[in-house]
Structures are given as C-alpha cells and as structure tokens.
Chains A and B, each alone.
Chain A
C-alpha cells in the first residue's frame, strides 16, 4: 500500500469498516440511499463536464464498485438518463468491476492513495473492461472531486452542520470521506 505524503489520513493503513457498521449499512434501505447517491453523481457530473469528456467511448458504461468489507455493491450506470447509482446485495452486471475496501474506493476518488499502487499491493482488483475502468479512474482523478462536500451541499442550509458530521464520521471510521488538500 502506498500513502500520500502530507496527508495524515494516508499514513495509516487502509481502514476496514467495523462489522457492526457494515451490518448497519447492509440493513439500511437501499432505495433512498441510491436516490441520494444518484443525485450526488448528477451534481458532480454537472459541475465537472470534463469528467464525462475524459470518459470518451465509456461515457455510457456501467461500473460496479464492490466494497469487500461491506456487503453492498454500487452500480454507477452512466447510460441511464439521468445518471443513476443503485445499491445491490449481490455484485451487479457491469462493463467493469472495481473491488476493494470501501475506504480504498473512496480514498481513490479523494486522491489519498494511488490506484496503480493499490493494484500492485492487491488492495484493488479490476475485472471486466480494463479500458473502461482506467478511463473512469483517470477522469475522476482529474476532476478533483469531494464526495463529502457534495453530500453536504445536498442539505442546503444545513451544509455546515452536515460537513461537520461528515468530518466526525471520517475521524471515527478512518474512511477518507473528503478530498485531501495535500494535493492541489
């Protein structure tokens, strides 16, 4: 595993979601969670049009993100209009499948860890269309996303308190829920 110099979160091993929290996530209603994540994905794509441009021929692909420490898989379906994220108990059909601990998957988005290094260390697995997975990784890396900030913005006037709750959750779980400022 590799870490990013300057980001204290990266100096720690990739955290595993505690079993009780994993069970809680499993029991949470998937439809509302999917609606929230879909809205986050749409907002991100609206704010970062170059992300879609970078995907090139894969701009309508379906990506399964499979967290190995949580019994949930996420399906990002770019072919749907509007773009849709859904939660699944079993791995869904997709063009490309990317597996790893939930923290690793989120940490990749936030530039805490390098994707190739996670692949070398076997913390990340890619199956299916390798080109599509690579295009997604590169497009997201360039977009400098912050999922935590996007979720906080969804709450409108409560964005400030929501950001603090997300920060607290990051501290408790070790999952890098926000973008690192060590890389700009």
Chain B
C-alpha cells in the first residue's frame, strides 16, 4: 500500500491523524526551523517526544520537518533541532539545507534523512547527488513536475519518492521563492512563514473583504465569492486593462484521482499539506485518503470530490501533474 504522510500542527492533530489512519505524520518544532512557523502552532520538545510515543504505540511513524535554511551565525539552532528530533525518536528528519544535511549525516549517522520539497530537487542528477553524498533515503518532489516527469525521475534514482496529493499548492520553485520576503521581509525559507499573519489584515469594505499583505491590497472578495489565502502568488492584480490572477488562481491541489498514475510512476509515499489547518481538516482528509489508498490497493476506483469544501477558494486543481497550466 502507498504510504500516507499526514500533517500535524499540534499534538491534538497528530493524534487525530494517527487515529484517522495515517501511516506517517510529519510535524515540526515551535520555532523557525520548520516551514510552518505560525502563531500557536507546532511542538515543544516534550510534546514531540509524547507525540512520537503516541504514534509508535499505534504503529505509525513520525517525521520531523527541519526544513528552513539556517541563518548565518545561528546554525546551532538547526543543529539542536536535528539532535532533539533524533533523541525524541523521530523516524526521519526532513531537511532542505545542504549544510544541515551534511551536518545531520555526519553527527547522526543512524538518523534517516528525507529531502524536503524546500530543497527543490527536480531532476535525477540532483537527487542522486544527495543520496550518494549524504545517504538521503527519500525525496519529496516539487509540485512543478508532471506525472510523466516523476516517472522519468523515478527510473533514474534509487531512493524513495514522495509527492503532494492534497492541500495548499505552492506554484513557485519551492525554497527559492522570495515573493513573501519582498513584501514582508519574512519568508518560508528563512523564517518558516509565507505571508506571515503578523503582516496580514482583513477588512470589510463596501461589501467586499479586502485582504492586505504588508499594507498592499492583494485580493478583494465579494460577499458571494470564496476567500483565498493572502499569498502574493494567488493575488488578484490589475495589469494594464486586465484584472485577474497573474500567477495562479486560488485553488488547492487535489490529486486523488491521479493516485493510480502516481503509483505507476513509482511514487511510494503520498503527502497531504496542511500543518496550519485544524484537526477537523486533518481527520477528514486523512480518513478520505486512507480509503483512497486502500481502494487503490484493492483495485477499486478512486473516490472523488469528497474534499471540495476544504480547498482554498473552494476550488481544486491537479496542478502541474497534468501540466495544463504551462
């Protein structure tokens, strides 16, 4: 059966994910070492140890995301996070920074290493380099590849591949996007936050919801319209005479119908985005995808359209997997 890798932003979400049928849960420490460094989210060191014990007792694994890029002069914070994840019993750490991966491979030779999507490893040469040099065992592929490209990569690598199948859809080259930094001075890469809440305001104006990031209006939603996340890549802008989504429509990824194709392409693990979401989201999405992978295993058709209400902009896309947007 394909492995289901599920998000947990809090200990309660971790328990919800495990109870709903997650094979594996990924989570992070409550600091800027992980790419979901949101207010009120993430795990203290004792919570991480408790969460891992809860998962292990029920046959589930826990991966710790330490997938931001260490600040110059403050590498010790990231080194400590890797050491603490290892001590807590993490089944693997998910890393992006080359230097941190080198450190982890040297200082914690028994610790399984996964390459984060933030490393933007989008070709076989790059993945093979990480595998040969540092012993990386799994790569999380960027969300810019088609199913055919994923199959081509898998034919040329010896490590496991994991792909996103549901949730927020980053349409940029991950780990290298500076849009959030440009407006707010903070980025997912260095601070673990894209469009940080501290820079977001919502106001009701003339029957519209105006979303602003760093003081710039990036979206206006009429009462009847679904609201998006306040990210620049899905903002609605005026360009010449046109007003529209310049980069991408506000939509979430839903690749549930592509699970058979992804399995055929050699993918071994399916990742659900959403550590910033509630345990209601986690429980519902995990339960649905657990049913889907079991249906796949049994050769039954994929259940579809179960999760539309949970998607950004109330709209879903297969993203680059079908590559109709290029």
Chain A residues within 8 Å of B, Cβ to Cβ: 1-6, 10, 50, 53-56, 58, 108, 111-117, 119-122, 125-127, 130-139, 141-144, 182-184
Is there a chain A Cβ closer than 8 Å to B15's Cβ?
yes
Task: Indicate if B284 sits at the interface (CB-CB under 8 A).
Answer: yes
User: Hey, which chain B residues are within 8 Å of A56, CB to CB?
Assistant: 39-40
From residue A136, how far is it (CB to closest CB) to chain B in Å?
Answer: 7
Partner of A113, one of B12, B44, B280: B280
**Contacts A120-B228, A141-B278 known; A184 to B19 CB distance under 8 Å?**
yes
Asked if residues A184 and B197 are in contact (CB atoms below 8 Å), the reply is no
Complex contacts, A120 vs chain B, CB 8 Å: 226-228, 311-314
Are B11 and A142 in contact (CB-based, < 8 A)? yes
A182-B283 in contact given A58-B39, A114-B278, A126-B202 (Cβ < 8 Å)? yes
Contact flag A4-B227 (CB < 8 Å), given A58-B39, A139-B40, A184-B19: no
Which 4 interchain pairs have the tightest Cβ spacing? A138-B40, A2-B309, A135-B40, A135-B39
Q: Are B280 and A183 in contact (CB under 8 A)?
A: yes
Find out whether the CB atom of A134 lies under 8 angstroms from the CB atom of B40: yes
B12 touches A141 (CB 8 A): yes
Residue from A4, A117, A134 with most neighbouring chain B CB atoms (10 Å): A117
Given contacts A116-B281, A120-B227, A134-B197, contact A1 B40 (CB under 8 A): no
Q: What residues of chain B lie closer than 8 Å to A116, measured between beta carbons?
A: 276-278, 281, 310, 312
* In contact, A2 and B40 (Cβ under 8 angstroms): no
Residues of A within 8 A of B44 (CB): 53
Task: Provide 21 A-B residue pairs closer than 8 Å at the C-beta atoms, listed in order of the A residue.
Answer: A1-B309, A4-B280, A5-B306, A10-B280, A111-B278, A116-B277, A116-B310, A120-B226, A125-B202, A127-B201, A130-B198, A131-B198, A134-B38, A137-B40, A137-B278, A138-B38, A138-B41, A141-B278, A141-B279, A142-B40, A182-B283
Q: When A56-B40, A130-B201, A137-B278 are in contact, do A122 and B283 touch as well, CB less than 8 Å?
A: no
Q: Confirm or deny: B287 has a beta carbon within 8 angstroms of a beta carbon on chain A.
A: yes
Binding site for A on B (CB under 8 A): 9-13, 15-16, 19-20, 38-41, 44, 47, 196-198, 200-204, 209, 221, 223, 225-228, 276-281, 283-284, 287-288, 306, 309-314
Q: Chain B CB within 10 Å — which of A58, A120, A127 has the most?
A: A120
Chain A residues, Cβ within 8 Å of B203 = 127
Contact assessment for B226 and A122 in the assembled complex, using a CB-CB cutoff below 8 Å: yes
* A55-B40, A130-B197 known; A114 vs B204 contact (CB < 8 Å): no
**In the docked arrangement, what's the CA distance between A126 and B229, Å?**
13
Q: How far is the CB of A32 from chain B (nearest CB, A)?
A: 31
Chain B residues near A131 (CB-CB < 8 A) = 39, 196-198
Complex-state Cα separation, A112 to B9, whole angstroms: 17
Which residue on A lies nearest to B311, using beta carbons? Answer: A120
What is the CA–CA distance of A84 and B93 in the complex, to the nearest angstrom?
42
Are A184 and B11 in contact (CB-based, < 8 A)?
no
Is the CB–CB distance between B287 and A6 below 8 Å?
Answer: yes
Q: Is the CB of A5 within 8 A of B287?
A: yes
Question: A135 to chain B: which residues have CB within 8 Å?
Answer: 39-40
Given the known interface contacts A121-B314, A135-B39, A138-B38, the answer about A112 and B280 at a Cβ–Cβ threshold of 8 Å is yes
Whether the Cβ atoms of A144 and B198 lie closer than 8 Å is no
Report the bound CA distance from A135 to B9 in whole Å: 12
List the A side residues contacting B20 at CB < 8 Å: 183
The answer to whether B40 and A136 have CB atoms under 8 Å apart is yes
With the chains together, A184 CA to B282 CA distance in Å? 11
Which among B226, B276, B279, B306 is the interface contact of A121 at CB below 8 angstroms? B226
**New A-B pairs, 19, CB < 8 Å, besides A5-B284, A55-B40, A119-B227:** A2-B280, A4-B283, A4-B284, A5-B287, A6-B287, A56-B39, A58-B40, A114-B280, A114-B284, A116-B277, A121-B314, A122-B223, A125-B204, A138-B38, A138-B41, A142-B12, A143-B12, A183-B280, A184-B15
Closest Cβ neighbor of B223 among chain A residues: A122
Which residue in B47, B221, B283, B314 is a CB contact (below 8 Å) of A5? B283
What A residues does B9 contact at CB under 8 A?
138
* Cβ distance B280 to chain A, nearest Cβ, rounded Å: 4
Q: Which of A5, A112, A122, A143 contacts B209 (CB 8 A)?
A: A122
Q: Is the CB of A130 within 8 A of B279?
A: no
In the complex, the answer to whether A144 meets B12 with C-beta atoms within 8 Å is yes
Q: Bound complex: CA of A143 vs CA of B47, how far in Å? A: 13
Q: Which residue of A lies closest to B196 (CB)?
A: A131
Query: Which residues of B are found within 8 Å of A137, using beta-carbon distances?
Result: 40, 278
**Of B225, B228, B309, B313, which contacts A3 at CB under 8 A?**
B309
Minimum CB–CB distance for B266 against chain A, Å? 30
